[in-house]
Structure 1
């Protein structure tokens, strides 16, 4: 229920998905209420009655993006098979996401973190949660790789996960900034080769 006691009839995934597209295209600061209304098809009053504020809608959009993305990434890392195959699949998923989304806008969560995480606790909380869940999935995958003898027993699973996170997020930032698919492929090969 909203503060006025009316049901929040517009708080559904279609509206949140549409708002996510607007924030992804413009960023938070440059995204106007008119942009949000145009993208969602709702009037200003309906939008703010349903979501309270631009920032609250932004949080919903980031959470939606986080939930979809982290589920896909964890699913990849939980697949059966060799560690290097799962790692390659994760990195190639990132390349696919970054080079096929409209306008090559990069990762919405990375964009949000770069724009606002230092001054917006909600953005920091969502981004930190995303990174932590990915790290835990990487640790589990690395532990399985160590147990199977695919990764040297001298390597620590948490350190391995941190190294992969560095490559992964570096890859995604470069994909958005440089937009060089050949470079992206080389980063994937270099990351995989570090486990041979």
Structure 2
């Protein structure tokens, strides 16, 4: 027969053991149902991934004159005229309207533009595209485009390429203060001079 001290010791050990098991169980359950313990779900690559074009193009050059952030839709056996119809305001890419940032005042297609960030819309045409800089930012597509918020509209030349470009692309090329912005998609190459 156990004496009182032995019984107390045994009951205490049973209590501690039950509480330890309960503590381990609670910890395991909380880890299983915790957002931290479950695998984070990341979305797949967007069908029209976002990209950026800068001038100068070197990513190591922190003295940039311009940067364009835009999404890159692909033709996928569709006609350019269906994706960027002539005579209609286009978001200049996919998803949100393209945004262009000038880090200094520039002459954009012959017109003065102050340093800052603008939405960049385009109106495709056969021989020329109209490039529109607009003060409305963070807009989805051209659905919320308002002409009264335009800063400038300039005409850009279009030429045809022998090769077709599957994904819409923007690049800059030039030297020092004089450079050109190129928009390319399908067999259309649009060019606009910039001085900065």
TM interval, shorter chain, is: under 0.3
Q: Which protein is richer in helix relative to its size?
A: 1
> Larger C-alpha radius of gyration, 1 or 2?
2
* Structure with greater strand percent: 2
Q: Which has the higher contact order (CA 8 A, sep 6+)?
A: 1
TM-score normalised over the length of structure 1 = 0.23
